[in-house]
Amino acid sequence: MLKHRGFPGRLSGTDFQFTIRRANPKGATPLTRRERFRDRKPADRRADSAFMEALWAHFGDQPFERGNLDAGRLSWLFGREVIPAEDPFDPASYDALLVIDVNAARASFPDIIDGMD
Task: List, for residues 64-89, the tens digit of each pLDDT value.
Answer: 999 999 999 999 999 999 999 999 99
Residue 32 lies in a domain: no
Q: Report whether pLDDT(37) > 60.
A: yes
The predicted pLDDT at position 61 comes to 92
Is 8 inside a domain boundary? no
Residue 68 placed within a domain: yes
Q: Is residue 9 assigned to a domain? A: no
Contact (Cβ atoms closer than 8 angstroms) between residue 64 and residue 98: yes
Residue 30 has pLDDT above 60, yes or no: yes
Terminal-to-terminal C-alpha distance of the chain: 30
Q: pTM of the predicted model, to two decimals?
A: 0.89
Q: What is the distance between the alpha carbons of residues 108 and 38, in angstroms, rounded to a whole number? A: 12
In Å, how far from its chain's centre is CA 51?
Answer: 6
pLDDT in tens, 91-117: 999 999 999 999 999 999 988 877 655
pLDDT at residue 45 is higher than 80? yes
Q: Is residue 13 part of a domain?
A: no
> Is position 77 within any domain?
yes
Dist. CA 56–CA 59, nearest whole Å: 5
Q: What is the mean pLDDT of the chain?
A: 90
Peptide bond into 8 cis (omega under 30): no
Residue 21 covered by a domain? no
Residue of 18 and 116 predicted with greater confidence: 18
Q: Which residues form the domain of 110?
A: 48-116
Q: How many structural domains is the chain composed of?
A: 1
Residue 27's pLDDT is 84
Domain assignment present for residue 34? The answer is no
